[in-house]
A = this chain, B = another copy of it.
Amino acid sequence: MDREYLEELLTRVKDGELAVEEALEVLRDFPYADTGFAAVDSHRPLRTGYAEVVFCQGKTPAQVVAITEKLVKSGLPVLATRATPETYSAVLSQFPNASYNEPARTITIPGEKLIERRGAVAVVTAGTADIRVAEEAAATAEFMGCDVNRFFDVGVAGLHRILDKMKEIRHADAVVVAAGMEGALPSVVGGMVDVPVIAVPTSVGYGASFGGIAALLGMLNSCANGVVVVNIDNGYGAGYTAALIARRAETK
């Protein structure tokens, strides 16, 4: 396409249809206004239908409302993460169809076009304290059109709990595992499924858990295959990648 575009442009110059000066103007912006633009802008992949995500932390409710407004006007669905109840109130007063997932701290507003449901994501936690992070992952994957199954509080100290759920977990196209403390659960899950496991260390723990570092290191050093890791408490990132994987996975 680029080549065709360029070819056409040059031909029009050759044919005198386009002034040299005008062609120069076009070429000056070439890397950004054409393919290039689409290329670099995968961050906001409107074309993919995943839409914008608003990271609320460090933004005022007013700022979040303003950004939301712009998105809604474009007919896009909205996902806002790390949203406080205050931020939700502000958004709700403007957009009555906004809904809030309290443990996940996410706000969602459906877009004009429904996202086709596709792909199955399992979200697993070691303890109940990891649920906030897990819910952020779940909300993100659901927003991106995946079916999400939750398996909470199935940590390794009572192994029967996770064993009991493995059959169901194996139906997923991607598994998110959130765990704090020693972060051992992803290794155990990774040893029992044949799809990627996105491990999310959580800052749950005390003493030498160092706000999630112990869990992070445990997960990076996992002896199981297919385990990859995201940042501490980054439920959003885990859910996003799990959805990327699941949506393109062949139906088993």
Contacts and interface: CB of A to CB of B under 8 A. Distances in A.
Interface of A: 3, 6-7, 10-11, 13-14, 16, 20, 23-24, 27-28, 30-32, 35-37, 39-45, 48, 50, 53, 57-59, 126-129, 155-161, 163-164, 166-167, 170, 173, 180-184, 187-188, 190-196, 198, 201, 203-210, 212-234, 237-238, 240-241, 244-245, 248-250
A182 B231 CA distance: 11
Contact of A222 (B44, B181, B191): B181
A10 B206 CA distance: 47
B160 A41 contact: yes
A114 B225 CA distance: 22
Contacts of A205: 221
B42 A191 contact: yes
Nearest to A195: B244
A173 B128 CA distance: 32
B11 A14 contact: no
Contacts of A240: 225-226
Given A7-B24, A184-B184, A191-B42, A157 B223 contact: yes
Contacts of A13: 10, 13-14
Given A11-B20, A57-B206, A248-B173, A225 B194 contact: no
Q: 3 smallest A-B Cβ distances: which pairs?
A: A207-B232, A184-B184, A40-B160
A156 to B, nearest CB: 5
A147 to B, nearest CB: 16
Contacts of A206: 57, 231-234
B225 A228 contact: no
B230 A42 contact: no
Given A3-B24, A20-B10, A184-B182, A234 B216 contact: no
Contacts of A210: 217
Given A11-B20, A128-B58, A241-B228, A214 B207 contact: no
B214 A217 contact: yes
Contact of A155 (B126, B223, B227, B232): B223
A15 to B, nearest CB: 9
Given A36-B160, A40-B163, A41-B158, 18 more contacts: A3-B28, A14-B14, A31-B31, A42-B225, A43-B224, A58-B128, A156-B184, A156-B187, A207-B231, A208-B212, A209-B231, A214-B218, A216-B220, A221-B231, A225-B241, A226-B244, A229-B229, A249-B249
